[in-house]
A and B are shown apart, each in its own frame.
Chain A
Amino acid sequence: ELELQPEDNRQSAETVFKDSESYKQFLAKLYAGLAISGQEGPAGDPDLEGLDEGFSQYMRLYFMMQELTTDEAVIGWNDGTIKDLHSQNWTSGNEFIRTMYSRLLYQVALTNEFLRQTTPELLDSRGVDDETRANIQDYRAEARFLRALSYYHTLDLFGNPPFVTEEDPIGAFLPEQIERPALFDYIESELLDIEDDLIAAGQNEYARADQGAAWMLLSKLYLNAPVYIGEDRNSDVITYTEKVINASYQLSDSYQKLFLADNNSNGAQNEIIFPVAFDGQKTQSYGGMTFIIHASIGGDMDPESFGVNSGWAGLRTTSALVNKFLDNNDNPIEEVADQRALFFSEGQSKEINDISSFTDGYAVTKYKNVDVDGNQGSDATGEFPDTDFPLFRLGDAYLMYAEAVVRGGGGSQSTAVGYINDLRERVGAETISGSDLTLDFILSERARELYWEAHRRTDLIRFNQFSENGIWPYKGGVPQGATTQSFRNLMPIPAADLGVNTNLTQNPGY
């Protein structure tokens, strides 16, 4: 007998989809692809094998790409080429950049496979009942949203990646490379195409994507269109941020609540448009929130007050972010009224002498695994947090609207100022007037409002402050900071993939 099939809980496609529940479980994998790294939380049976499982998790890598490369974060560890991210001298051999790229395209491949397995023809042949079929239509729209999201991240980070859809097979073939403008068009057309198929904003189950998520993604795509396609699409930003703002989302009454263990139920969920959901017992990973919270605790910080059992003593921020909260640089950070200034300074120096030393640079206390009453999350060991990552939230929509107004996309300046002041009033910061609403202000305000939410690199590039302009400590590998070359606005196509896929051309400069 040489025709052997799996006998344990693995199944072939043929048998697994006899159970109509399988479609929702497959959909759960597409979402879980953002939160966990394999089939045995927190580790075991990983999706990707090229790097340690904890490190290969989607949000951990995305956080590293978007934050460590900027003024908002440094990390003190010796893992591989991790320090090259902050000093902006990474090469195409950087394993974290490589794994981000692999993870993004893995996510695309997963969604493609979902779409291949749910075609009307296949559902017909499997005799799927009507109710399931109706649900699968929703799932397919969400799968396409998730693919658009990962392609958006790929567009933003790598520009010109290999391009695969459900029309391609699975194997060892060489995907074609797509140019950045063409990928932009594809993402746009996909999002517009599924807009009406997605469940109405705020109406889907928690943590599943709805129309609001698609509008947010469209807004981000259009806001950055000058970078991606060299075209101004600010009026489209106005259109889609307005759709978000006019939907049922509401600002949380407290800024800190957005980043707590119960941010799926303490009211913050009304502001969060699309979360990456974690759970201390059921959705465990060494990446994601586990990484962000543990790695930002060290020195004299008490892990218990963050609802976790230990600090990994890695992540801190530079004085460039801290100074954005200070009127003049001599004020101690503790005296700042703005409640968004969530830093730990006791025993920490504001300036960094040695990136490896945790006490160099203020620690960031934004994310915690405790609820509004200070109780630790559901994992009794304090290892894995419940805190969800707010990938899209209403506050960002306000700031994008305001930016599009300033950039001439239409809308109303007074509305924009109102939105900004809504955010500032919430945290006890002084309100602004129309004359304060400049691009410089918006870039700084985005840092104050959205730091460590994985926006910074994209923002800096859009404002042309990431590489050839803009200075912050240890940029370019020197303590005082130095500019770098503009080709670093795009990450390199990893050498590993260039060596395999002869259809690919490296991004300029690498």
Chain B
Amino acid sequence: TSNGTTTDFDGNYTIENVATDDILQFSFLGFASQEIPYEGQATLDVQLDEDQATLDEVVLIGYGSTSEQDATGAVEKISPEEFNQGAVVSPEQLISGKSAGVRITSSGGAPGSGSEIRIRGGSSLSGDNSPLIVVDGIPLDQRGVQGVRNQLNSINPSEIEDFVILKDAAATSIYGSRASNGVILITTKSGKKNTDLSVEVDVKASVGSITDKVDVLDAAQFRELIENQPGTDPSLLGDDNTNWQDRIYQTSVGTISNFTISKGFENFAFRVNYNNTVQTGVLRTDLYKRNAVNISLNQDLFDNSLKLSLTSKGIIDENEFADDGAIGAAVGFDPTQSVNDSSLPFGGYFEFNRTNDNGDIVPLNQATRNPLALLYLRDSQGETRRNITNLNVEYRFPFLRELKFNANAGFDYAENDGYNRRPFTSAAVTNVESPYNEDYSGINRNTLFDFYLNFKDEVNFLNTEVDLTAGHSYQEFYIQSQTRENPNDIITETFDINRNSLESYFARASFDIANKYLISASYRRDGSSRFSPDNRWSSFPSASIGWKLHEENFLKDSETLNQLKLRAGYGITGNQEIGPNYGYFGVYTPSISGAQYQFGNQFFNTLRPEDFDEDLKWEELETYNAGIDFGFFDNRLSGSVDAYYRETNDLLATVPVPAGANLSDLLVTNVGETVSRGVEVGINGDLVRSQDFNWSVNYNISFQDLEITKLSLGDDPDYFIPQGGIGGGVGNNIQLWKAGYDPSTFFVFRQVYNDQGQPIEGAYVDVNGDNEITEADRQPYKKATPDYFMGLTNTLNYKNFDLSFTFRGSFGNYVYNNAQSSNGFITAGTVTPQDYYSNLNSNVLETNFQNSQFFSDYYVQSADFVKLDNLSLGYFIPGEKIDIRPSVTVSNILTITDYEGLDPEISNGIDNNFYPRSRTFVLGVNFQFK
């Protein structure tokens, strides 16, 4: 027979009916169990050691926590020691390359810019494919907040305690309708009870520069080309030699400073952090600034029955936005022209111009604008003030300590304002007499109230640990935005309000039988304001099992194998991030000025009925997942392997609506299916573990495959929807959605080459054999997403030195080189609508294309890459009163690729005027005062 009890919060316990020589087993989550024979003492004090097996860490799983040992879903926790080092402004960059199945692609090199985050590749077409991000218990608005470059910048990267990534439905379906793309739980640091006052100062300074430029003709080459081209007028050329790309880029500088104070008392702990970040862009006039305060307060009351935690983040995010149109302008601007010309009325800058009938010098409206003038004759600033606050109350019932009540009241409020101005002297302003002025402001408000009850106890007679949770959540999102534009003395104002809400009931039951067999099931029921009452509510169940093989007798005593767990799970999740808030009923939108219609002598604003789909409902994703967790040699070699298969049903896609049936040509509706599958492997190895030298390696590799299996109401196998607009002409799409293909598949003509391997202009494979090259000969070909990608992190310690570096690789991904295709043919430079010429991509010297060949597969280029993302070296100097750790980090060090463009890592696979990522050198020093 067995007999048990639990301790109170101070760790006191009593247990009765214990006989001498009975064995008492003491256990606590995250600590190694101890077995002590009872020898008749009145008091038996026990101190448990933390479980050294890292696999048994406590991990958040949404509305509760578990241990990694007991997790039955694909859950991965990433802690600060694994984070990428350097001048990291955006939190998601901390974990780039760290987790199997997670692909993080920064959107470019702009300071403070965000990233595309994909967990298992995303399974929707038009629905949002970004994961749900939950910060200290508050699910953020998946649409982001207005006015910022990246809404995650509101979280100071240095204040992050850990990331927990929930990948499969067994783990995510407790988040129901927002869980299809995975969930990332971010926990920020808080004060610890009973700790001394700690003061920490951390300063980083960085310099960065671009690593490469788009390869264009220089002034001499360009002049030669124009002079030799029949029909051109070389007198339009200037006589300078300007490298426009050199002129628009600069060495960026930045600093990141953190000041942190924390202290813990017996019942109270606090942590306060102030962060200042300043980062200039490599593109001139670009600037990002952040001033943020994080406060965390924890108070225990009533004999520790009641725990109050308050986390509050206040952020002022300031931006000066460079006109990134300068990037394309610098590539296309005639290199024989000078930057400045004070004889022209364009603020001191040269612009292509003509003298009109009135004798005024006016810009050529269709010409490329002077890139420097675009940058310096614009003032575009924005500020966002944001507060994210959550109050968490946890109450353990005194009469039933296994039962606790947990409630969150949170809000995330942001207000932004900004403006965008150009003086009348700017050639980018069409009206020569008045400046351009745009002012905007807005509010984002996200309010949350949720609570749940949790019951956790050992049911002795079943030898089972039971963990039951049930709760309710309500969350509302409110977005208001207004703009006031004064382009041509006609004031245009817009004012938008969007509100949507989500109400949920959720429950989870987990059983750990004999510390061997794990069974877990969860259920969520969500109601969304975005759907009609008939479709409003939907259920998202999941079930999963686990088998801790290492606890079985035949493995329990194994010397080599200390951990082996099998997992399997199934679940349904949803996606409600579809865009429109009132998509299920018809609304009427009035027009604003400029869109009126004349009746007689009067102008009337118009009233437009909007398209809608009464039957609009959730997109649902069914996921099957199976996994193995293993640990060998005292976990010196550990890891996980997961395989999944997923089907999206009622796929939300913006698709052509049957003509005449609705009030638009495209409609967001539930149509089609996708199937995705993949294998993810993550391995951690402690290659060397010794007194002075430690070396650990983290490697992960992910194989992914996503395919559209059904796309329309009809069954035409040739049906496709063009996607992926490119630069160089309106209505030019280079990708397609088609059943049987990945959604990022390119859609091109097959180029014909001559004996020398040169592409023959205009010669394509006549696929359908009708002796004509028409649209019908365009074929699906390659895709932008990788077949597999990997990350490799090495962390080394030698005495007080530490060194870490991270490689990332991506394979099977292709990029459409739009930089070459839009400027890589002669007439792109010579046949212009007005009297000026445009510079060309040097690729024209290889192809000698006269005219555009946008849809040639010549431009679909392999973009496999291996990048050395960062390398960081630090040295720890311990002291009496102060510990000091200086460090140096280099980011974006090396890219190995065959891709001919600037950077092979382009999230949508279309390389067009990409804001180059910079290589950054960071010096940091950390002071820890004692």
Contacts and interface: CB of A to CB of B under 8 A. Distances in A.
Interface stretch (B239-247, B516-524, B650-658): B650-658
Contact of A162 (B592, B659, B831): B659
**Most B-side CB within 10 Å, residue of A95, A170, A277:** A170
Contact of A12 (B357, B588, B592, B832): B588
B731 A96 contact: yes
Contacts of A42: 594
B722 interface: yes
A234 to B, nearest CB: 32
Contact of A40 (B366, B492, B586, B854): B492
B501 A383 contact: no
A358 to B, nearest CB: 7
**Most A-side CB within 10 Å, residue of B528, B533, B831:** B831
Given A357-B831, A380-B488, A12 B589 contact: no
Interface string B607-627: 111111111000000000000
Interface residues of A, number: 114
Nearest to A502: B714
B246 to A, nearest CB: 29
B496 A8 contact: yes
Contact of A93 (B495, B661, B775): B775
A313 interface: yes
A332 interface: no
B609 A91 contact: no
B716 interface: yes
Contact of B658 (A95, A162, A305): A162
Interface string B592-616: 1111111111111111111111110
B607 A498 contact: no
B11 interface: no
A39 B731 contact: no
Contact of B663 (A39, A106, A302): A106
Contacts of B854: 78
A9 B589 contact: yes
A309 interface: yes
A10 B590 CA distance: 7
A356 B833 contact: no
A445 B15 CA distance: 110
The 8 closest A-B pairs by CB, nearest first: A41-B594, A499-B719, A313-B833, A310-B365, A80-B731, A205-B600, A41-B595, A102-B665
A94 B719 contact: no
B500 A4 contact: yes
Main secondary structure of the interface of A (DSSP, over half): loop
B667 interface: yes
B664 interface: yes
Interface of A: 1-13, 16, 22, 24-26, 28-29, 31-32, 35-36, 38-42, 44-45, 47-52, 54-55, 76-82, 84, 89, 91, 93-96, 99, 101-103, 105-106, 108-110, 113, 117, 161-164, 168, 170-175, 205-208, 264, 277, 279, 281-284, 298, 302-305, 309-314, 356-358, 379-383, 494-502
Interface residues of B, number: 107
Contacts, number: 337
Interface in B506-565: 527-529, 533, 536
Contact of A13 (B364, B586, B732): B586
A40 B591 contact: yes
Contacts of B834: 298, 310-311, 313
A447 B232 CA distance: 34
Contacts of B660: 105, 108-109, 161-164, 168, 175
Contacts of B590: 9-10, 25, 39
30 contacts: A2-B528, A12-B587, A16-B588, A24-B599, A25-B605, A26-B609, A28-B599, A40-B595, A41-B593, A41-B596, A51-B731, A78-B732, A84-B774, A101-B659, A113-B609, A162-B659, A173-B661, A281-B594, A305-B357, A309-B430, A310-B366, A357-B231, A379-B488, A495-B718, A495-B719, A496-B656, A500-B714, A501-B658, A502-B715, A502-B716
Interface in B372-389: none
A112 to B, nearest CB: 8
A42 B658 CA distance: 27
Given A36-B595, A39-B590, A381-B431, 20 more contacts: A2-B536, A4-B499, A25-B605, A32-B591, A39-B591, A39-B595, A40-B594, A47-B608, A84-B774, A95-B722, A102-B665, A106-B665, A168-B661, A305-B357, A313-B832, A380-B488, A381-B430, A383-B430, A499-B714, A499-B720
Nearest to B595: A41
B420 interface: no
B658 A174 contact: yes
Contacts of B831: 76, 356-358
A386 to B, nearest CB: 10
A76 B712 CA distance: 35
A110 B659 contact: no
B665 A50 contact: yes
B582 interface: yes
A28 B597 contact: yes
B713 A172 contact: yes
**Most A-side CB within 10 Å, residue of B356, B488, B528, B612:** B488
A22 B488 contact: no
A205 B603 CA distance: 11
Contacts of B772: 89
Given A12-B587, A302-B356, A497-B659, A47 B664 contact: yes
Contacts of B866: none
B503 interface: yes
A175 B661 contact: yes
Contacts of A29: 591, 597, 606-608
A6 B582 contact: yes
B775 A207 contact: no
A103 to B, nearest CB: 8
Nearest to B772: A89
B657 A500 contact: yes
